[in-house]
Structure 1
Amino acid sequence: MSDYEVRPATLRDAKAIAEVHAAAARAAYEGILPEDELRALAPATREAKWREAIEFSEPQVQVAVLDGEVVGFVGFDRSRDAKTPSTTGEIWAIYVLPEHWDKGVGVALWDAARDGLEEEGCTVVTVWVPLRNDRAMRFHELAGFKREMKTAKTTAIGSVKIEEIRLKRNV
Structure 2
Amino acid sequence: MRARIRPMTENDIEAVSTVRVRGWQFAYAGLMPQPHLDAMSVAEDAARRREFFGRGRGVNLVAELDGRVVGWASFGPCRDEDSGPGDGELYALYVHPDQLSTGTGRALMERVLEEAPRLGHSALRLWVLEENARARRFYERAGFAPDGVEEPYEVDGTPVPEVRYARRLAPEAS
Scaled by the length of structure 2, what TM-score is found?
A: 0.92
**1:96 is the counterpart of 2:90:** no
Match of 1:163 in 2: 161
Match of 2:45 in 1: 46
Alpha-carbon distance between aligned partners in 2 of 1:57 and 1:113, rounded to the nearest angstrom: 17
Cα displacement (A) at 1:25: 0.4
**1:138 is the counterpart of 2:140:** no
Unaligned regions of 5+ residues in structure 2, if any? 170-174
Match of 1:20 in 2: 19
Equivalent position SS for 2:161: strand
Alpha-carbon distance between aligned partners in 2 of 1:141 and 1:94, rounded to the nearest angstrom: 14
Alpha-carbon distance between aligned partners in 2 of 1:115 and 1:157, rounded to the nearest angstrom: 33
Unaligned regions of 5+ residues in structure 1, if any? none
* Contact 2:2–2:103 (CA under 8 A) maintained in structure 1: no
RMSD: 1.3
Q: Report 1:20-169 matches (<5 A).
A: 20-149=19-148, 151-169=149-167
Deviations 1:48-90 (A, max 9, x none): 2222333332131100000110000001001010131120011
Cα displacement (A) at 1:111: 1.4
Scaled by the length of structure 1, what TM-score is found?
A: 0.93
Match of 2:8 in 1: 9
Alpha-carbon distance between aligned partners in 2 of 1:158 and 1:62, rounded to the nearest angstrom: 30
Q: Percent identity?
A: 31
User: One-letter code of the match for 1:157?
Assistant: V
Higher mean alpha-carbon deviation, 5-14 vs 103-112, is at 103-112
Equivalent position SS for 2:153: strand
